[in-house]
Amino acid sequence: MNSTKLLLSAFGAALLLTLALYFLPTQEPNTKKTEQTAAESAPTTSGSVAFLLNTADSLRDLLSGQQDAAARESMGKTAIAVYKQVLQQDPSNLDAKAGMGFCLAEASPQPMSGIMMLREVVKTDPNHENGQLFLGLLSLQSGQLDKAIDRFEKVIVLDSENNNVLLLLGRTYAETGNRKKALEIFMRLKEKSTEPSIKQEAESWIAKLQSAS
């Protein structure tokens, strides 16, 4: 078994065990419970929503970097199922809708349903950072570079310190041939980024763009 399969197997086993603890059928509520007991149990729901959302988001992040088609499909299905659990408990949770929309677009037979869900998220909240980011990533994948730039610019307005998105924005400007704008962004990253890999890539792009002038 190769390292990828080992990683997926270990992660899958841990995930299923953890989810089972949350999805096991619960007993019917005891009508004799005191109001105090009910109040004490109230935070459990919000806690489980947060846990499930974090679990689904972790799967979504793994999905983004996974090249194996079978693994992508499996991760996507699992993440979507967990996001559905979140939305059953909190139907208005935009973070869950954005994550589910991205997974549907990336790893399901109905990618348009995911894109529509993401559009619904940003229509409800134009400042939803992940909603804008995911639509930008999907636009980039489909070659719609101008749309990707528009989405990434919105993310940077919301979070000017997001150097990963700034790097994506610089690359996309470079691909469109906007050398001036790309250089501006890469120079900014070179000066402000403290992450060696981002700084190194920015410097590489600067040298490449300057040599092409």
| Residue 94: CB atoms within 10 Å | 16
**Is residue 184 domain-shared with residue 155, that is, in the same domain?**
yes
Whether 6 is covered by a domain: the verdict is no
Q: Residue 103 has which token pair?
A: 């997974």
Q: Are residues 109 and 155 in the same domain?
A: no
The stretch 23-50 carries a mean pLDDT of 48
From 93, 125, 157, give the residue that closes a domain: 125
* Cα gap 189→198, rounded to integer Å: 7
pLDDT tens digits, 48-74: 889 999 999 999 998 877 888 888 888
Are 121 and 151 within one domain?
Answer: no
Whether residue 94 is found in the same domain as residue 158? no
The reply to whether the predicted model has a pTM over 0.85 is no
User: Same domain for 172 and 207?
Assistant: yes
Residues 61 and 108 placed together within one structural domain of the fold:
yes
Range scoring the smallest mean pLDDT among 19-23, 88-92, 148-152, 204-208: 19-23
Domain boundaries, position 204:
145-213
CATH number of the domain where residue 168 is located: 1.25.40
Q: Considering the domain boundaries, does residue 118 fall inside one?
A: yes
Does residue 167 lie in a domain region? yes
**130 domain-assigned:** no
The count of domains in the chain is 2
Last residue of a domain, one of 125, 155, 183: 125
DSSP 91-144: TT-HHHHHHHHHHHHHHSS-HHHHHHHHHHHHHH-TT-HHHHHHHHHHHHHTT-
pLDDT tens track for 150-202: 999 999 999 999 999 999 999 999 999 999 999 999 999 999 999 999 999 99
Question: What does the pLDDT read at residue 124?
Answer: 98
* Residue 204: inside a domain: yes
- Residue 199 in any domain: the answer is yes
Together in a domain, 121 and 150 = no
Asked if pLDDT for residue 88 goes beyond 90, the answer is yes
Alpha-carbon distance of 86 to 182, in angstroms, equals 39
Whether residue 117 is found in the same domain as residue 173: no
Residue 4 lies in a domain: no
At residue 176, the pLDDT reads 96
Residue 137 in domain = no
Domain boundary among 96, 125, 154: 125
Tell me, yes or no, whether 100 and 151 share the same domain: no
Percent of the chain that is helix, strand, coil (3-state, to 5): 80, 0, 20
pLDDT, mean of residues 21-27: 44
Same domain, 118 and 72: yes
| Total H helices, total E strands in the chain | 10, 0
pLDDT of 138 above 60: yes
Instruction: Count Cα atoms within 13 angstroms, Cβ side, for 79.
Output: 31
